[in-house]
Structure 1
Amino acid sequence: MDVTLRQLDVFVAIVDQEGFGAAAAVLGMSQSSVSHSLASLERAVRGELVHRAAPVRPTPLGEVLLPHARATLAAARSFDAAAAAHASAVAPGSIGLAVPPTVARGLLPGLLRLWHERLPHVEIRIFEGLDEEIEEWLESGAVDAAVLIDPEPMPRGGLHLATDAYEAVVRSDHPLAGEESVELADLLDDPLLATTSGCETQVRRLHSLTGLPYRPTQRIRELATLLSMVEAGLGVAIVPSLAAGMMPGTLTLIPLLPRLERRLVLTGPAARPWHPSVAAIRDLCAEAAPTW
């Protein structure tokens, strides 16, 4: 099968940009060249890869082949960077880094400042997503690195960046707001608002540890929406302490007992070689911790 990296790049760009014109703009190609490249790839794989109606979406065959295309392109980027680093001791280019929302607010600004100051030749593109999305992006090649929550087992080469704990979030005028800590049972008098953005597994575990039933009255995907609902007086919630950077002044965090922590781990993919710049940002974090 005669398939080129350019054809794969076009295929991925069309899917990501949801159209041929937008893909052409991103790739710096004419729209006719984009269409021709995709048509050539479709002839090679003997099937249509995308539905042509706007917004463009992958066909069932496209869904099957898209992760392989991403992984191939990611491996090619790593190959080029490794060759360049061998020749010049510098691995230029850009890498994609996926992070959960709380990490994006709580840790990322300091990390980006460190990387920019010490590794100015490395461009880092940030992708914010849910825990399960991030793992899929990393292994599919959509990103080159990620901050994972409590990965098991610990990824080979991964770096334990930080640890934070789950805490109760209540309105500042709530009767519990002045307490130094609260038991999970103390929250039972209020409706429990839960987020499905990566925290729910740990909150379920916390209830299991105490023998209390897990009965959220609402399950909300976006953490920002959850905090808005707490602010509106619709209930209380349990969130990681890094969420403090997302909270308005009308809300407060209270340490929760029993204490349940989570590990934040910076890592590259498990199933293919790392881009050299991923190893570089990891090593810099290890060297500079905890100054960032």
Structure 2
Amino acid sequence: MTLRQLDVFVAVADHGGFGAAAGALGMSQSSVSHALASLEAAVGGDLVARATPVRPTALGEVLLPHARATLAAARSLTAAAAAHTRAATSGTISLSVPPTVARGLLPGLLRLWHERLPHLEITVFEAVDEEIHQWLESGTVDAAFLIDPDPLPHGALHVATDVYEAVVRADHPLAGEDVIDLADLLEDPLLVTTSGFEPPLRRLHALADLPYRPARRIRELMTLLSMVEAGIGVGVLPSLAASMLSDTLTLVPLRPRQERKLVLTGPTARPWHPSVLAIRDLTEAAGRASSVG
């Protein structure tokens, strides 16, 4: 089997069809069909169900993560060879981030990376915590921002720390307070996003010796904010969410204080892409310069 065949397999699975995969790869549809058929002959079974849309078979689901990891390793090998022969970092890497990091922290970092590494293209994928871990280790992305990883992955960089705060309407009786006790929110229905925030909220309630009783669980963060805006309840979100709030919402510091660490890392099971090392080192240097300044 060849890397090109694996590339075709992943593209067909991701795009849900042979025509869309051909367009993404710059190949003819017949070439895509032939490449996938050759790979299926090599592995001894069908990898996708020829339906609309095309979906991986049971064998395809088993082999797809291995195909992604192989392609990610090949990209890293190519980039390492290129980095050894020329000074400029170039090419493309993919980065997965949680929504609050994408809105509150990433824009400044993207500016820094573009200024210092103008030949490097960074593709950003927004995802919830569970997906981010899976994508990073499977090779779907080359790097990721993780929240409170334990233990800290080797080579990872602690980029920032923020805190959990109450999100309420601007006309809420507690909106103008400097800090409020978590117990003060018990009179309002608690809205919780299931996108990675429940474990820290459980810990926060345990610290305050309070029962954890969410009134509603919502997957999408923006939906939760819309519900708070509509007066349906209150929420608890990281302070980085401030960039996502409308003028009718505000964040208020909470007691007890609960922090979270935001960590930039590559995969744990294979060598990092050289460009991931480059953006990590740039970020670390910028952080040192900022603290000295």
Q: Which interval holds the TM-score relative to the shorter structure?
A: over 0.9
Shift of 1:90: 3.0
1:1-292 equivalence runs, <5 A: 3-289=1-287
User: Which TM-score applies when normalising by structure 1?
Assistant: 0.98
Task: Show CA shifts across 1:5-59 (max 9, x none).
Answer: 0000000011111111111001000001001101111111111111111122111
State the AA in 2 paired with 1:144.
D
8 Å Cα contact 1:94/1:125 also seen in 2: yes
State the AA in 2 paired with 1:121.
H
Aligned length: 290
SS class of match (2:37):
helix
Task: Show CA shifts across 1:204-225 (max 9, x none).
Answer: 1111222211111110011000
8 Å Cα contact 2:193/2:218 also seen in 1: yes
SS class of match (2:92):
strand
Cα separation, 1, equivalents of 2:99 and 2:252: 20
8 Å Cα contact 1:82/1:91 also seen in 2: no
Cα separation, 1, equivalents of 2:290 and 2:115: 13
How many percent identity over aligned positions?
A: 73
Task: Show CA shifts across 1:146-179 (max 9, x none).
Answer: 0000001001000101000000000001111111
Cα separation, 2, equivalents of 1:35 and 1:205: 51
Task: Show CA shifts across 1:113-166 (max 9, x none).
Answer: 111110011110000000010010000000000000000100100010100000
- Structure 1: tracts of 5 or more residues without a match: none
Q: Give the RMSD, CA atoms, in angstroms.
A: 1.1
Shift of 1:291: 5.0
8 Å Cα contact 1:180/1:254 also seen in 2: yes
Cα separation, 1, equivalents of 2:5 and 2:75: 15
User: Which TM-score applies when normalising by structure 2?
Assistant: 0.97
Task: Show CA shifts across 1:47-91 (max 9, x none).
Answer: 111111112211111111011000000000000000011111333
Cα separation, 2, equivalents of 1:49 and 1:81: 29
Cα separation, 1, equivalents of 2:135 and 2:42: 26
Task: Show CA shifts across 1:89-123 (max 9, x none).
Answer: 33321000000000000011101111111001111
Cα separation, 2, equivalents of 1:102 and 1:158: 19
8 Å Cα contact 1:92/1:121 also seen in 2: yes
8 Å Cα contact 2:168/2:250 also seen in 1: yes
- Structure 2: tracts of 5 or more residues without a match: none
Cα separation, 1, equivalents of 2:64 and 2:89: 27
State the AA in 1 paired with 2:237.
V
Cα separation, 2, equivalents of 1:68 and 1:229: 41
